[in-house]
Structure 1
């Protein structure tokens, strides 16, 4: 149920404005704890199949049962052979086979790599997100604001010239929008905005904006939202509809992020790639020439269409990673196995995403995915070393050659060595990549 607020009331992070325009003063700093609570809100996890079996859990479940079984059999065997050492052998088996090394390798490996990612301006929600990344086989990209940059020099206006007042009105309306095209257009319009507050404001995600200012009504957005038949599939545009009259359109010639072609070529070797965009097919020819031929294109997709498309892929067994602009793709990002918001402004993000990538590092996506996969491989290697240690230790314990005291000394040594191993190796692969 919406809560009515009046001028002077306090507003807290996490709320959503349902209608109208608003101006706020930030009076306190946002602490990390609030951000964490927002990301952890259960509302973003409803009806989602994001839970995966943790690497450690999948092994430890069998490890404990097997060790207890071996200790029981050894105790019974030595009770009849030499009862005097039976208790010591059982104790040595239980100590030397302590699964501490198994339990520590994953947290230390993922934790160290999360720190490295953060240092490189790629912020993941938790270690499970990195484990998901290692299982990805399909990558979906939004177009506007994700693979394109907000370059104001690539915008032009076509139609009836807009007056100073009309330009101010356009700028006033798009000021409250967080869509990448709106932000680019706001920076493009040089006319200072001196208008009073809007009487009404409503943004329909994936379609456009409508507002009222005194006796003026205005719509900005797609052709279908404006209600015009002047659709040009060869352009990315924002139509201007003022007082029941189509005035013109702002035409966007997209500027793609650095090394976009190279990024897609590298990713296509291992992943299925899809462009899932709410824009028209204006840039399809450019994208077809620039991106690998295996790339699939889906245009004119509303937010709910994106979400359902990803859900259908998952029902067919796909593990989906999506890169979007954050707010307009919130539902699709939440539905994906991993949802990453690509942001040019770190203060604009979606709490439904699993991570935030600085837009300037878009060309590093293949390396980040490689590091995630190699981190999981390091954990598996550490498990093998740990199991080999346990097998050798168990042999000496079962044959009575290892006392409980010596086993107690060796047990923490193995744990420390595993922690050092995964830490050094994750640091090494990060420097190499």
Structure 2
């Protein structure tokens, strides 16, 4: 990679003398001092270096597209991506490589605006070895084609990270052959049906308008033959999914909506073919192709989802692709799947432990917040067992693998039955109706056949029989749920509540129980209320901020952020004591910040309800910072609304019971459960379901993954919906959690709209059957009635849901 000489000095500049009030590159605050370069100010040397790199590459236009949209440049150690030089790992990540040219695709969470797209699609101007780069903004991916002779995969990733667009590379990305591909068959079927429908309608107009039989028989034969040829692929290919579904349902002993649809399709096609080949009529090929086309449109509309979001993430999306294994004096990067019992590995700050292990270093601090739900990092000492999924906080730490990735605690959780089976507890509304509908239609068809058979004979009776099946084909009924739930998904999506598929709406309006996780769900994952017990002078505040901003501990970061308005001063001798605290010298005085025991605090100062960080200056104890996680806005009103809507509300959390008294203000004491492990949460959901409850589980981390999967509706809450969320049925932006009661209430109103749509569909069928049993169904009548009934139902649904949406009041204040 091209090396750029770093210029600029980190220093303090008084506000009155600054030409810019925020970082010229990323727009961030000057929390760590100011770097001045080329008459611009930057918050760190990383942002300044990217600015210099872009200028030298002729990409200064980046800053004129959108103001201050650059990503904050993260720091990473020089060997972070060394594992990408491993040939086996490289081969598992790339899409294509031949003749020295390689293509690879990365997921880049930092893509957020037009400036990002412009910069990432001009990577070739930053390095001549990159041939082409293309961004998919919706999926937040960048495809890079590069020349192997000029740079390797590691250097490509480092270039992206260097300019602030660090790609996400995880175990899930390893084998691209195993990734699910988009099923394009529906689009092919839809295209064929639409093409055939349009052309058959065009060829059928002469028949519609030929009331006086002016059209010669040769043209009728020609048009009929063409209609048959156009309809044949629709019958054999576009309709095949309905036949397969109907047959599978019969084999399993139940009736779904695809059975009456299949009967109507077969009746339409074979009766039309018979009339065309016997020259006894023009058939109903226009109605047949239109029916299949409309059904496929409904299936497409129902199947729409949010491509940029992933609803099926598992532990592989969280685990690293490779770690550093130590053998003797040699340290090498190896894929985590190649780790074996007894291997010694080294992990740096913020890296994930991939397997259950024994700590070999003297001490370590492990953050289990995303795995267990415990928000406070845990201190470990040499010889302690550390479970997979823990994030290392602090200095380089060594572990000995005790269980391989495939046998670890976290992996076993993912192999639970809840993760292997789709939730099929309830029968779809339309399938439950279709059982009676199919029985009714077949009864009418058989009775009509018998009546006309004894009245006129087989020919007329057979025509009446097929007419009943044709007219009664439940096209409008089949379109009810796709368009009802599809419109609901669209409305929810506009308000940052993203459903995996349309069936989730139906599960949502059945809900009678809501179960919340606490940490990261009811609380903000990063924000906290900070107060200090004691007295501090301005010089002390500046010293504490300067020390804590060098620490990697989450509580230190909270304190540093809380004190960001204070100046940064020079420190020396900084040292981080794992599991205890930090220390440094400021103006010749030694400061300690950490646990009460570490700084020599009075034990009575400790409080159970908050995380407490103590401070001492020299031999003098100054006091303590009390840090309490902040709850999201209007949590009390949200829970009250859910209860008033008749829903039972529970709380299960991996945290300790420090917040028990606070939580009893909102939840019934008997419905609050702390210290819940992931397996406990899963079993709790299953226990509720065993009593007949329809459960909505709302959580945010891997510790909630089993419960989210087992619940009737699992909702993952995230403050950035494009970053990691556990497998779920829906993803909810954290800012919209307060509206969850309104979303559930809205879905229950949609059920009433669905029921009215069913009624409209049945009325059309009744009208059509009156004509069919009397032998008055003509091709023109069928061609008019079927689309009119479908359009009426779809229009009613669309108007009704939009009206309902306009009446529902959502809280979108910040």
Larger relative contact order (C-alpha < 8 A, sep ≥ 6)? 1
Q: Which residue of 1 aligns with 2:236?
A: none
Task: Assess, with a 3 A threshold, how the Cα gap between structure 1 residues 255 and 336 changes in structure 2: closer, same or farther.
Answer: same
Task: Assess, with a 3 A threshold, how the Cα gap between structure 1 residues 150 and 333 changes in structure 2: closer, same or farther.
Answer: same
Aligned equivalent of 2:718, options 334, 337, 343: 343
Q: Which residue of 2 aligns with 1:243?
A: none
Could you report, residue by residue, the CA deviation over 1:68-121 in whole angstroms, capped at 9, with x for unpaired residues?
Answer: 342133112201112364344223312221110111110111111111111111
Task: Assess, with a 3 A threshold, how the Cα gap between structure 1 residues 406 and 256 changes in structure 2: closer, same or farther.
Answer: same
TM-score with structure 2 setting the length: 0.41
Secondary structure class of the residue paired with 1:53? coil
Aligned equivalent of 1:73, options 436, 447, 457: 447
For residues 179-328 of structure 1, the aligned pairs below 5 Å read: 187-188=561-562, 217-218=578-579, 234-237=608-611, 251-269=626-644, 270-289=646-665, 291=666, 293=668, 296-328=671-703
Residue 46 (1) aligns with residue 426 (2): no
Task: Assess, with a 3 A threshold, how the Cα gap between structure 1 residues 368 and 186 changes in structure 2: closer, same or farther.
Answer: farther
Q: 2:544–2:560: 8 Å Cα contact kept in structure 1?
A: no
Q: 2:549–2:560: 8 Å Cα contact kept in structure 1?
A: no
Could you report, residue by residue, the CA deviation over 1:391-421 in whole angstroms, capped at 9, with x for unpaired residues?
Answer: 2322332234554542342122111111111
Aligned equivalent of 1:128, options 500, 503, 514: 503
* Whole-angstrom CA distance in 1 between matches of 2:802 and 2:423: 28
5+ residue gaps, structure 2, are 1-79, 94-105, 109-157, 170-181, 183-305, 317-413, 535-539, 582-593, 596-602, 615-622, 809-814
Shift of 1:271: 0.8
Deviates most, 266-275 or 47-56: 47-56
Q: Which residue of 1 aligns with 2:519?
A: 144
Q: 1:93–1:398: 8 Å Cα contact kept in structure 2?
A: yes
* Whole-angstrom CA distance in 2 between matches of 1:249 and 1:331: 38
Q: 2:311–2:727: 8 Å Cα contact kept in structure 1?
A: no
Could you report, residue by residue, the CA deviation over 1:278-302 in whole angstroms, capped at 9, with x for unpaired residues?
Answer: 222322223323x265872112222
Q: Which residue of 1 aligns with 2:761?
A: 386
Q: 1:79–1:86: 8 Å Cα contact kept in structure 2?
A: yes
* Whole-angstrom CA distance in 1 between matches of 2:434 and 2:559: 55
Q: Which residue of 1 aligns with 2:548?
A: 167
Total equivalences in the alignment: 385
Aligned equivalent of 1:6, options 63, 82, 88: 82
Task: Assess, with a 3 A threshold, how the Cα gap between structure 1 residues 137 and 184 changes in structure 2: closer, same or farther.
Answer: farther
* Whole-angstrom CA distance in 1 between matches of 2:652 and 2:608: 17
Q: 1:233–1:281: 8 Å Cα contact kept in structure 2?
A: no
* Whole-angstrom CA distance in 2 between matches of 1:297 and 1:362: 19
Shift of 1:218: 3.4
Aligned equivalent of 2:456, options 82, 103, 109: 82
Aligned equivalent of 2:743, options 342, 346, 368: 368
Task: Assess, with a 3 A threshold, how the Cα gap between structure 1 residues 35 and 285 changes in structure 2: closer, same or farther.
Answer: closer
TM-score with structure 1 setting the length: 0.74
Shift of 1:38: 4.4
Instruction: Give the structure with higher Rg (CA).
Output: 2
Task: Assess, with a 3 A threshold, how the Cα gap between structure 1 residues 218 and 105 changes in structure 2: closer, same or farther.
Answer: same
Q: 1:167–1:189: 8 Å Cα contact kept in structure 2?
A: no
Could you report, residue by residue, the CA deviation over 1:208-240 in whole angstroms, capped at 9, with x for unpaired residues?
Answer: xxxxx9995437999xxxxxx999784143789
* Whole-angstrom CA distance in 2 between matches of 1:219 and 1:79: 93
Task: Assess, with a 3 A threshold, how the Cα gap between structure 1 residues 184 and 309 changes in structure 2: closer, same or farther.
Answer: farther
Shift of 1:352: 0.8
Q: 2:430–2:481: 8 Å Cα contact kept in structure 1?
A: yes
Secondary structure class of the residue paired with 2:552? helix
Secondary structure class of the residue paired with 1:322? strand
Shift of 1:153: 5.5
Secondary structure class of the residue paired with 1:357? strand
Q: 1:273–1:295: 8 Å Cα contact kept in structure 2?
A: no
Could you report, residue by residue, the CA deviation over 1:45-70 in whole angstroms, capped at 9, with x for unpaired residues?
Answer: 63446123222222234433442342
5+ residue gaps, structure 1, are 15-22, 175-180, 195-212, 223-228, 241-247
Task: Assess, with a 3 A threshold, how the Cα gap between structure 1 residues 418 and 185 changes in structure 2: closer, same or farther.
Answer: farther
Shift of 1:321: 0.8
Task: Assess, with a 3 A threshold, how the Cα gap between structure 1 residues 28 and 306 changes in structure 2: closer, same or farther.
Answer: closer
- RMSD (Å), alpha carbons: 4.3
Shift of 1:344: 2.2
Q: 2:311–2:729: 8 Å Cα contact kept in structure 1?
A: no
Deviates most, 299-308 or 365-374: 299-308
Secondary structure class of the residue paired with 2:798? helix
Secondary structure class of the residue paired with 2:450? helix
Deviates most, 142-151 or 310-319: 142-151
Task: Assess, with a 3 A threshold, how the Cα gap between structure 1 residues 255 and 85 changes in structure 2: closer, same or farther.
Answer: same
* Whole-angstrom CA distance in 2 between matches of 1:293 and 1:37: 31
Shift of 1:8: 3.9
Q: Which residue of 1 aligns with 2:486?
A: 111
Deviates most, 249-258 or 325-334: 249-258
Task: Assess, with a 3 A threshold, how the Cα gap between structure 1 residues 403 and 418 changes in structure 2: closer, same or farther.
Answer: same
Q: Which residue of 2 aligns with 1:60?
A: 434
